[in-house]
Amino acid sequence: MPEVDTTQLDADFDLLRQAVRDAGALAMEFYKGEYRSWMKAGDSPVTDADIAVNDLLHRQLATARPDYGWLSEETEDDPVRLERDRVWVVDPIDGTRAFARGQPHFVVSVALVENGRPVLGAIYNPALDEFFEARLGQGARLNGQVIHVSERRDLEGCRMVAFAPMFKHPAWTTPWPEMDILERNSVAYRIALVACGGADAAIALNTKNDWDLAATQLILTEAGGLMTGHDGSPLIYNLPQPRHRSLVAAGPKLHAAIRERVGAIKLPG
């Protein structure tokens, strides 16, 4: 693995955090206001706010670092990113459905990925003023305070952030134990909650994208957690197809318990 340029990362981290804060402030100018909303490919909603926040982030990040790649949910994919060692990975508003419903469970999510792994990440929930940040090897913080995943090891009674009906699917040969299930529209926010101990684990058994996961994986792992595919496969970013079949995120002990239950499942793709 090439040595990370720490001096450059200092400047990149300052740039990233300011851009994410500015993006959150812009999102709040639209929140609970009037704006256009429409559906894009894949039956996914998008709003004027998503586009405006994406444009702001692109101006502040891509303009400042023209030699870095760019991958965003709201920008047409440019394969030039595959030629770049460092790539901004951006979700301008993760949790657009929650945003549109006036629910405070959406975030701005941005990572800097270097050679396939996130080295900087920031996630901002401006409605609740929760700013998560991490730098590789330097821990994770929420509003400036160091955070850590929970030490829980048992599924029964754990706080699980996931799509609740998944656990009642008839395909499960062994019923899941009773859990306190939280539902949050934003995937990045679900995992950030695990990172700070607000939840114990998060599971998704459907496809997610780089921009859903890159920043929040770094925050989780720097908080002492683990995040893999359901089968234990590592998550590698900035590949030609920037998608991941599944995820399991938790502290190490609970991650192992979940993997034991879901690891043998065969998913499409």
% of residues, the chain, pLDDT over 90 = 90
> Structural domains in the chain?
6-146 (3.30.540.10), 159-262 (3.40.190.80)
Phi-psi region for residue 117, left (φ > 0), alpha (ψ -120 to 50) or beta? Answer: beta
Number of C-beta neighbours around residue 39 at 10 A: 9
pLDDT tens profile 1-37: 445 568 899 999 999 999 999 999 999 999 999 999 9
pLDDT tens profile 226-235: 999 999 999 9
CA 236, CA 238: separation in Å to the nearest integer? 7
The DSSP bridge partners found for residue 201 are: 160, 250
Residue 24 and residue 18 in contact, taking contact as beta carbons nearer than 8 Å: no
**Residue 69 amino acid letter:** G
Using the predicted structure, report yes or no on whether residue 245 has a pLDDT greater than 80: yes
Q: What is the pLDDT confidence band of residue 41, given thresholds at 50, 70 and 90?
A: confident
Nearest to 99 by CA among 125, 123, 75, 122: 125
pLDDT tens profile 76-133: 999 999 999 999 999 999 999 999 999 999 999 999 999 999 999 999 999 999 999 9
pLDDT of residue 90: 98
Q: What is the pLDDT confidence band of residue 269, given thresholds at 50, 70 and 90?
A: low
pLDDT tens profile 167-191: 998 888 889 999 999 999 999 999 9
